[in-house]
Amino acid sequence: MKKIDPSENELDPINLLKWYVSCGVDETTANSPTNWFDLPKDNHTEQDVKKTLLPVTSPVPQTLLSSHKENIEAAVEVATKAANLEELREAIISFEGCSLKNTASNTVFSDGNVDSDILLISEAPGAEEDQLGKPFVSSAGQLLDKMFGAINMTREQNFYIINLLPWRPPGNRKPTVAECEVCLPFVKRHIELFKPKLIILIGGTSANSIMNVKTGITKLRGKWSKFKLDDQMIPMITIFHPSYLLRQPQFKKLAWQDLLSIKEHLESQKSD
């Protein structure tokens, strides 16, 4: 692919856009675009520059911002009121306590077989998931399907998938601790309503949030633990995220060992 030099035809907006795309820029950071070819001259004041770069398109409401604690409490309240998965979906869609919702295209709720016994909890939607409103539809999703297909499991029949965060972080960045804390009440309610017999945590972010630990994925993966649901203890295991395996293929051998451990667990449950 030809490398695009921004100095070539620098006043050509098409050429500039191509250069941005080649650098990985796929979204803006402001509510409205800035025309960089129409910036103020040097003799303009600093205030003029600020007005040009940050145009005010609507009045700012004179209301106090909710604190992080209040957002978590609000999430707990609305999540607890959801009596079924459809009500939980509506509660998440209408929730305004997480800023990620403002930059996301869609709320990504779930996919897979809602009548299955196995719950997969991943981290957050990517760009393709955000556009389609479904988890794991990108190359990472294709690898996930191949991984579980290797132990004769499909999302259509054998498992149900949700994300820790229902909204995509801008630029696919790692979710912050605060964002995870606000969304965690919805995940816990999702678990309560789905009532799984096995939970599979995908990636370090989801594992750290659900298990309330600060441990690296290489130490968490393959380890069995329990999730307390009322008076039940649900078996739970952490595996590598498929996107991590795409970047670090040398860990696929360990991922295969974890899949075999899951298969062995499920077979033992059948024989009991």
pLDDT tens-digit map of 150-190: 999 999 999 999 999 999 999 999 999 999 999 999 999 99
Token look-up 């990504």 returns 108
Q: What is the largest CA-CA distance in the chain?
A: 81
Residue 58 predicted with pLDDT over 50: no
Q: Is pLDDT at 57 greater than 70 in this prediction?
A: no
Positive or negative: CA dihedral 178, 180, 183, 189: negative
Domains of the chain: 68-271 (3.40.470.10)
| Extended beta strands in the chain, E state | 111-112, 118-122, 159-163, 198-202, 224-229, 232-239
Is pLDDT at 137 greater than 80 in this prediction? yes
Q: Which of 49-53, 168-172, 173-177, 260-264 has the lowest mean pLDDT?
A: 49-53
Distance (Å) of CA 31 to CA 27, 28, 34, 58, 102: 11, 8, 10, 11, 10
| Rounded Cα gap, residues 269 and 158, in angstroms | 14
Q: What is the C-alpha to C-alpha distance for residues 191 and 178, in angstroms, rounded to an integer? A: 21
Measured distance CA(252)–CA(255) in Å, rounded: 5
- Between 54 and 17, name the one with better pLDDT: 17
3-state secondary structure of 199: strand
Q: What is the average per-residue pLDDT within 73-92?
A: 98
Report phi then psi at 215, rounded to 5: -130, 140
State the pairing for strand pair 118-122/224-229: unpaired
- pTM beyond 0.85: the answer is no
At residue 120, the 3 state secondary structure works out as strand
Q: Specify the higher pLDDT residue, 9 or 89.
A: 89
Can you tell me the distance from the alpha carbon of 145 to that of 177, in angstroms, rounded to the nearest whole number?
28
What is the pLDDT at residue 11? Answer: 56
pLDDT of residue 26: 61
Angle subtended by helix axes 252-271 and 139-149, to nearest 10 = 50
